[in-house]
Amino acid sequence: MLNYNQAFNTQLVKLKEDGRYREFVPLSRMMGDFPHALWHCNEDQQKEVIVWCTNDYLNMSHNKQVVRAFQEAAQYYGVGSGGTRNIAGTSYPHLLLEKEMADLHKKDASLTFSSGYAANEGALSALSNAFKDMTIFSDAKNHASMIQGIREGKGKYQIFKHNDMDHLETLIQDLPLTQPKLIAVTSVYPMLGDFAKLEDLCDLAEKYNALLYVDEVHAMGMYGPEGDGLTAQLNLQDKVHIIQGNFAKGYGAIGGYVAGSASVIDYIRSFASSFIFTTSIPPATTQAALESVQYLRKSSVEREKLWQNVALLKDALRHYNVPFVKNDSHIVAVIIGGASYCKQFCDRLLIEYGIYLQPINYPTVPLGQEMVRITITPEHTLEMISGLAQALNELLNENTKLEAA
Ligand SMILES: Cc1ncc(COP(=O)(O)O)c(C=O)c1O
């Protein structure tokens, strides 16, 4: 008999030695108290901490209107959706949400999935299979879900250097204009917070007769006049053929979607495995996501406060000499370097300062680029911001002293 457990443990020991073993930080993020949360350090002990790394960028998961919509829909529809979309799992809120997302992106149609991951995986694998000789050109920094979908499809793919339009053009120009192609990118890259060169990508897609697919997961709610993403902010919605997004970050709920022409959405609906063979998002969550989208179309208060806080955070980091990656987005990356050191750094922040930042390790970032990813929200105060900047300064300086000694 093979010793399966020993084999698993060998891999886990290696992961621990590399400092890349994932340890969760269990939290209670209570309504009305965010960004404070209770950290359940062990079974019978809790400590109050400040959360600095949530993707609930606008704290919409606690928005009173959204929570009310969720509660009322749960009273009305119950908990589960009851099935896959095709077999008893399409509820009325699913139709409303899909209509809303199509309208938001100025597209004919949209389709919701159980997560953003499932949306990318299902849509890209189906699109890869749509034509016998399809080639997908994918940015090197695309998310795991896009890579997974592209690999799963039967078409060819080529990876172009991150945001390198010359490299993309060198690759794409080799194919005949009549051959089907798709360019897949991310509007706001989640780790370093840089933007895709969307104008150039639209031009290249047009020039080489390619479909353009943009993941807007980290832009929805925060960018664009109605929270309608970076493509809307740049007025490029009609040049981007397929927009993918989710409800789990800026919108504070769960689920993913794609929006595009009536034909492409119907095609994805009919062929994407991760759409067809899974239970749909529960109606109450769907209703909450809809409320959140509609709320952020009308209200700019949260966006304005977020952007004010982003500027204050960047100023404070500069003031306290904390180096961070330059970008124009809401994501603030501080490279720490070294998985074990990054882990210790975050442990100390949590235990000594009550600051929760999660270490970001390989393979999410390249080895040696281990980092903390700070995501400020409208709820963080000036006092919290300077507390964070001071704590980072103290810990980073301690390390510099150690290195110098
Ligand atoms: C760029 C990007 N796309 C897609 C996803 C997947 O979205 P979801 O968390 O809804 O599955 C993520 C998730 O973290 C992401 O960062």
Mean residue pLDDT of the chain comes to: 97
Report whether residue 122 contacts ligand 1, using a CB cutoff of 6 Å.
no
pLDDT band at 32 (very low <50, low <70, confident <90, very high): very high
pTM above 0.95, yes or no: yes
More confident residue, 27 or 400: 27
Task: Compute the distance from residue 191 Cα to the ligand 1 centre, in Å.
Answer: 12
CATH 3.40.50.10470 holds for 4-61+300-404:
no
Exposure letters 352-391 (e unless 16+ CB within 10 A, then b): ebebbbbbbbeeebeeebbbbbbbbbbbbeeebbbbbbeb
Residue 54 three-state SS = coil
Ligand 1 pocket test target in 139, 145, 281 with most atoms within 8 Å of CB:
145
- Residue 388, both tokens: 């964070």
Report whether residue 217 contacts ligand 1, using a CB cutoff of 6 Å.
yes
pLDDT band at 404 (very low <50, low <70, confident <90, very high): low
pLDDT of 401 higher than 90: no
Arithmetic mean of pLDDT, 263-280: 98
324-369 residue pLDDT tens: 999 999 999 999 999 999 999 999 999 999 999 999 999 899 999 9
Give the per-residue pLDDT at 19: 86
Give the per-residue pLDDT at 405: 47
| Pairing label, strands 355-356, 45-51 | parallel
Give CATH 3.90.1150.10 domain extents, the chain. Answer: 4-61+300-404
Exposure letters 240-253 (e unless 16+ CB within 10 A, then b): bbbbbbbbbbbbbb
188-242 residue pLDDT tens: 999 999 999 999 999 999 999 999 999 999 999 999 999 999 999 999 999 999 9
Task: Compute the distance from residue 23 Cα to the ligand 1 centre, in Å.
Answer: 20
63-94 residue pLDDT tens: 999 999 999 999 999 999 999 999 999 999 99
Give CATH 3.40.640.10 domain extents, the chain. Answer: 63-298
State the helix-helix crossing angle for 339-353 and 382-404, rounded to 10 degrees: 130
Instruction: Tell me the CATH architecture of domain 63-298.
Output: 3-Layer(aba) Sandwich (3.40)
Give the per-residue pLDDT at 333: 98
Arithmetic mean of pLDDT, 270-278: 98
Q: Which of 107, 141, 181, 249 is catalytic?
A: 249
Least confident of 223-227, 291-295, 399-403: 399-403
Give the per-residue pLDDT at 147: 98
The whole-angstrom separation of Cα 250 and Cα 227 is 9
Q: Which of 28, 8, 17, 76 is nearest to 287 (CA)?
A: 76
pLDDT of 400 higher than 90: no
pLDDT of 403 higher than 80: no
